[in-house]
Chains A and B, each alone.
Chain A
Amino acid sequence: MSETLPSAGESDPGIVLEIDALYRRSPYWELDAADARTFVSAVPPGGEPRQANWSGEVLARSRVVDVNERAAHLVGALDGREEMIGRPIAEFWPPDSHDDLAELIAAVVTDPSPHATRTRDIASLLLQDPVLTVWRSPESGADTVFATVKGAMIDRRSYWSLRASEDRYRKLIHHMPNPLLRVDARVMGRVFERLRAEGVGDIDAYLDDHPELIAFAEQSVRITEANPAAAALFGVRSPADLIGSVECLFKASPETARRVTIAHFDRRRSHAEVMKLRTLDGRLLDVQIAVTFPTPPEQLDVTVIGLDDLTDRLRTEAQLRQLQADITRAARISTLGELATSIAHEVNQPLAAIFTNAETSLRWLSRDEPNLVKVVQLTTRIVASARHANEIVHRIRAMTSKHAPELLPLDLNDVVDEALLFLRHDIESRSIRLSTRLGLGLPRVIGDRVQLQQVIVNLLVNSVQAVAQADTRDGRVELSTGLGPGGEVVFVIRDNGPGIPEDDLDRIFEGFFTTKEEGMGLGLAICQSIMAAHGGGIAASNRPEGGASFRLWLPAEPEPA
């Protein structure tokens, strides 16, 4: 803060001229300071005991004689110019510079010179680099002082409305449930200007050569304000404990500091990412950091950093994924359980053939003249059947095993064939007619074989059960694959069972919705989530001629470029 003291006792026409010009453009006050002078004479500013509210006392004793419209607008909006006349200036003057005004008034009224003038830089929310001038005029008598403030307007609103919005802003920040930091990064703004002036354009490359710039930024960019939520996040008692360098933010994520620096240099409006945060009490958190850099005409010392603790959310998401995988697997196994008879039959078939062929071979071998040609033929068949049995076992194991989804190009027709493996026997034993029309030359789809098998098995089981429930002599299940209107690969399964009650059509894909007494209601929900994960979908409808129809679709594998 600087104070200009013009030489006492001399009239400076320059100042007067300037003041006349200012009168029109700048806020201007005429004050009656008689009481103030009495008070100041009794209690000088530097004197002992200095009263706690010395400035307030001086300003309470300085009454407004006149103000111009500018001054009324700037600080008197609540009352209007007329209401200000005769009232103490203390009621209108911005508190930030109470001390400045009081000290200058005291200096002027106690200065014996009739031209006494004092000038001082003050702080203001409204004006850029404001300069306060207080003076006395020989014409107006010893008790009248004038005051004016020179400086470019930052904000066209009046002080009080700005002050109110500043208060609202502070309250908002304070009560915000999200951790917020106000940061002064102006020092880096100046560094970046210099670098640009030196011709640095690629900050990325520059930082590779000058890693010390990031360390410098971390130390010199300062947190100037923090809210209670930020204090809680960092594990400190008070927001004041966070005031200081931003270094504490990036302890566990040095690369984040680098990316924030780059974003700032590149004059981006904001930068956000998920990073690890080491709190001041030693916890390691996953947080989303969002940095918003100021751009003119905003105050350049206000960079706002928002932090969002994602630790619980990420952990919950991981648990949910695990749970979903477990449920999917459990549902798969329970589906397989329902299909146990069918599967047992499927495995037993080649085993029975092996058994019988082996018995026959033994009979040929135990003859007086063994028929080795026959034995070779039978043994070859045994190998083929054993291989077949082995393949079935592999498929069942693949269905029940825990495996991470594997997205590979697939022929949907193969998946349908494999799914049928689990059900062919079930379908046959219920005397249900199964017809399969698989489209030829379909494009491949990208998907997880086991998951897609599971979806088709699920739909097949539902259809078979629906048809069996209908108890008709003529149960039918029709499967078909083909190309959809948008080039997608489509699988349709239709049955002639009782169909789906219209009221349930919208709900059948919801989890835990079931019409079966022993069902969990997860089958179709899992089908839907699997299809969604594949970028495809599933839809259900009733056929006009009776029975249900389910349609699956999957995007075709993109043509190689």
Chain B
Amino acid sequence: MSHVPVIAIVDDDEAMRDALSELIQVMGFSTEAFDGAAAFLADLAPGRFDCLITDVRMPGMDGIDLQRRLRALGSVMPVVMITSAPDPAGRARALQGGACAYLAKPVDDCALLGHLRSALGQDHRPGGRRDEDDSPGG
């Protein structure tokens, strides 16, 4: 495979943003980090990113709104949401909006890798099944 998938990371917390970038790089992906939804949208171009990992709660536009904008723009880019305050209502909103996963901070690296591979269609695990908890409507 010649194309290294590019993962966009949006988080207003610098330490978290850098940590996620490093983790995803060591997993073998390429990353682009943004400190907010606005910066990400400004840089968005068709085919530029293969997946988006975004924090849910952020000043200005939050993760849920960002996903809504993305879908409104016609993007089908897989979205992984990460939050430090997970709650059922937030999960429902995220998944109904088309997120492929809704994860609590701190994220388990193996779970994140699984979700990324699955989102990118690289899932080599038998049956290619997603984590039950993270499936839409699950």
B interface, size bucket? 20 to 34
Interface pair B106/A352, CB less than 8 Å apart: yes
Q: Does A360 contact B (CB under 8 A)?
A: yes
Contact with A along B83-118 (1 / 0, CB 8 A): 011000000000000000000011101000000000
CA distance A484 to B57 in the complex (A): 37
Interface pair B105/A352, CB less than 8 Å apart: yes
Interface pair A348/B22, CB less than 8 Å apart: no
Q: Which residue of A lies closest to B84 (CB)?
A: A348
Interface pair B85/A388, CB less than 8 Å apart: no
In the complex where A355-B106, A356-B23 touch, is A345 in contact with B15 (Cβ < 8 A)?
no
Q: Does B134 contact A (CB under 8 A)?
A: no
- For residue B15, give the distance in angstroms from its CB to the closest CB of chain A: 4
CA distance A429 to B58 in the complex (A): 7
Contacts of B107 in A (CB 8 A): 352, 355-356
Interface pair A381/B106, CB less than 8 Å apart: no
Interface pair B19/A353, CB less than 8 Å apart: yes
Q: Which residue of A lies closest to B107 (CB)?
A: A356
CA distance A350 to B18 in the complex (A): 12
Q: Does A384 contact B (CB under 8 A)?
A: yes
Interface pair A357/B22, CB less than 8 Å apart: yes
CA distance A353 to B26 in the complex (A): 15
- Contact among B15, B20, B26, B57 with A425 in the assembled complex (CB-CB below 8 Å): B57
Q: Does B70 contact A (CB under 8 A)?
A: no
Q: Which residue of B lies closest to A432 (CB)?
A: B59
Contacts of A363 in B (CB 8 A): 23, 26-27, 109
Q: Does A364 contact B (CB under 8 A)?
A: yes
- For residue B12, give the distance in angstroms from its CB to the closest CB of chain A: 8
List residues 330-375 of chain A with CB under 8 A from any CB of chain B.
Answer: 341, 344-345, 348-357, 359-360, 363-364, 374
- For residue B10, give the distance in angstroms from its CB to the closest CB of chain A: 14
Interface pair B62/A431, CB less than 8 Å apart: yes
Q: Which residue of A lies closest to B58 (CB)?
A: A428
Q: Does B131 contact A (CB under 8 A)?
A: no
Q: Does B32 contact A (CB under 8 A)?
A: no
Interface pair B57/A428, CB less than 8 Å apart: yes
In the complex where A348-B84, A431-B62 touch, is A356 in contact with B27 (Cβ < 8 A)?
no
Contact with A along B9-35 (1 / 0, CB 8 A): 000010110111011001100000000
Contacts of A357 in B (CB 8 A): 19, 22-23
Contacts of A461 in B (CB 8 A): none
Q: Which residue of B lies closest to A345 (CB)?
A: B84
Q: Which residue of B lies closest to A427 (CB)?
A: B59
- Contact among A351, A355, A374, A428 with B59 in the assembled complex (CB-CB below 8 Å): A428
Q: What are 5 residue pairs bridging A and B, where the CB atoms are less than 8 Å apart in the complex?
A: A345-B85, A352-B105, A359-B23, A363-B26, A428-B59
Interface residues of A (CB under 8 A from B): 341, 344-345, 348-357, 359-360, 363-364, 374, 378, 381, 384-385, 388, 425, 428-429, 431
